[in-house]
Structure 1
Amino acid sequence: MSLTVPPALLEQAQQGAISEEDFLACVRTSLPYAWSVVAGTAEKLNANGGTVEINDDVPQNDKEWGQLFRMMASDSIRAAIERKFGVRLAFQNCCKVAAFAPDATAAYDEFTSMRAQVLNQRPELVDC
């Protein structure tokens, strides 16, 4: 399961639309490690005014890996976080999270290219 959904949020969703604020609170509570990685990366990018900020810290355990995978694999979670922080996110290998300024198309395209994926391979992460 990706998220631990509070009963009130589930009931709200069953009745219709939910607020992005409530959804993000659920994400933050359910995936605290992944939230800290992505939020910290986005905040660094916004603070330094650059075009890209990359976090390649390797998660320390399976729980952290799982949180990062679930967050980055979910289109709805990733899109909500991108809107919250005003960035575009990308994910490479199994732990490299990048936040891009919205207009940093060339840097985003390079990071997400097949070439970059091949060059980023590390033997210790083959079975991550």
Structure 2
Amino acid sequence: MSLTVPEELVRKAQAGAMTDDEFLACVQNSLPYAWSVVERLVKQYESGATVAEDGSVPPDDQAWGELLRFAASDSMRGAVERKYGVRLAFQNCCKTGLFAPSAVKEYEEFVSPRAQILNQKPELINC
């Protein structure tokens, strides 16, 4: 399971009354390492950066799992993107990028096959 979901949130979701903020609080509580990556990127963005990248290698398997679950979830990424008005992207298993709407060229480069190849590292082969 990706998230630890309180019963009250399940009821709200069933009733169609769950907000993005409630969903993101669930993500934050369930995936604290992944959320810390998002917070670091958002902090850079809110300080004026149009592009923020984090290539920190997760400290343990649990953190790896959290980041991969976050990266694989369109709904989690989408909620963050809507909340902050940005785009998120991932390379390999630990490089995360946050892009302002104006950073189209930088986003396209980040998600390009060329960037993926240049970001390969032997120590991350099994991530």
Report the TM-score when normalising by structure 2: 0.95
Determine helix, strand or coil for the equivalent of 1:102.
coil
In structure 2, what is the equivalent of residue 123 of structure 1? Answer: 122
The total of aligned residue pairs comes to 127
Post-superposition offset of 1:15: 1.9
In structure 2, what is the equivalent of residue 37 of structure 1? Answer: 37
Determine helix, strand or coil for the equivalent of 2:5.
coil
Determine helix, strand or coil for the equivalent of 1:28.
helix
Aligned-pair identity in percent equals: 57
Aligned counterparts of 2:93 and 2:16: Cα–Cα separation in 1: 34
Aligned counterparts of 2:38 and 2:110: Cα–Cα separation in 1: 16
In structure 1, what is the equivalent of residue 87 of structure 2? Answer: 88
Aligned counterparts of 2:45 and 2:12: Cα–Cα separation in 1: 34
Post-superposition Cα deviations, 1:60-86, rounded to whole Å, max 9, x if no partner, equal 111000100111110010010112222
CA RMSD for the aligned pairs? 1.0
Aligned counterparts of 1:119 and 1:113: Cα–Cα separation in 2: 10
Post-superposition offset of 1:16: 2.0
Runs (4 or more) in structure 1 with deviation over 3 Å come to none
Extract unaligned runs of 5+ from structure 2. none
Report the TM-score when normalising by structure 1: 0.95
